[in-house]
Amino acid sequence: MRVVVTGAAGQLGQDVVLELVRKNHEVIGTDRTKLDITNELNVLAFISEVKPDVILHCAAYTNVDAAEENEKLAYQINASGTEYLAKAAAQIGAKMLYVSTDYVFDGSASEPYEVEQQTKPIGAYGRTKLAGEELLQRNLKEFFIVRTAWVFGIHGNNFVKTMIRLGAERGEVGVVHDQVGSPTYTVDLATFMVELMETDKYGIYHATNSGVCSWYEFAVEIFKQASLKVIVNPLTSDQFPRPAARPNYSVLSKKKITEQGLTPLRDWKEALAAYLEEATDKN
C-alpha cells in the first residue's frame, strides 16, 4: 500500500515508517517542513497529488503542560489538522488512522477504560485531541482511532530516557506513585497500527503494552533492568505540581484488540527490556 505518515520525524512516526518499510509498503513520510497540516489547502493539494491508500496520522502537539498556555495552537495541530486530513482522505477514498490519547478521559475510573466509555478531558491537550477524534468521525464514515498512553521509544524524549539520565546524575529521584497506567513502546504500537491499517476492522481501539503500574513502579523497574543503583522516592501528585492536571488512572482496556482477532501488545516489562536492548545497540 501507498502510505502517508504525518509526524514521520517524531518518536512514534519514525518507528511507524520503519515498520511500513519492513512490511514492504510504499512510505511517504511528512513533517512540518514538508506538509503544514494546519493549512487546509496545502493538505488537500498534497493528499490529492500523492493519492495514498492510507494516512497514518502521527503528527501532534504533545507538550501537555505547554498546551495549557497554547491551546489555540494545540487545537490547530491536533483538531484542525486532523479535520483537514480527514477531508482529504474522504475526497480520494483513503483509509485514515489517527493516534489519540488516554487524556480524553478524566482519570477518575478504577477499572480499565473501554473504547465506548464517556470521554471527559481535564486539560487542553486532552480537549484538543478529543476534538480531533470528533472532527475525524464527522468527516469519515470509516476510520481508525488508536488511543495510547505513556509512550516511550528510541527516537524521542521520554520518561525512560529521563529516568536513566537523572538516576545516573543524582543517584536519587522522586517519582509520583498516585498516577497509574500502562507504558507503551513505540515499536509495539507501530506494529499494531500497521497490522490494523491492513484490515477493514474500523473503529476506536485502545493500544498500550499490557500490564499496569504507577510512574513510581515504572521508574523502579527501569533502574532494575538498567542495573542502576538509584533510590526512588514515591511522591504524590500534589508534591510534584505541573501546569496541566494529569489523569490519576490511565489504564485502557485492550479488549477490542482481541475481540477483533488482532495481535495484543506484549507486557510492558518485556517491552522495556526490548527498548533498553535497542538503546544499547544504538549507542
Residue 101 burial (CB count, 10 A): 27
Q: Which parts of the chain fold into alpha helices (H)?
A: 11-22, 40-50, 64-69, 71-75, 81-92, 124-139, 159-170, 186-197, 215-225, 255-259, 268-282
In the set 125, 185, 249, 275, the catalytic residue is 125
Task: Give the C-alpha distances (Å, rounded to integers) separating 77 from 72, 80, 199.
Answer: 9, 6, 27
Active site residue 275: no
Q: Which residues are within 8 A (CB) of 92 and not within 5 positions of it... i.e. 6 or more apart?
A: 47, 48, 51, 52
3-class SS at 232? Answer: strand
Distance CA(177)–CA(156), nearest Å, equals: 24
- Give me the half-sphere count of Cα atoms (radius 13 Å) on the Cβ side of residue 92: 22
Distance CA(11)–CA(152), nearest Å, equals: 8
User: Shortest CA distance to 212 belongs to which of 170, 183, 190, 189?
Assistant: 183
Contact 24, 1 (CB under 8 A): no
Contact 102, 147 (CB under 8 A): yes
Enumerate the active-site residues: 125
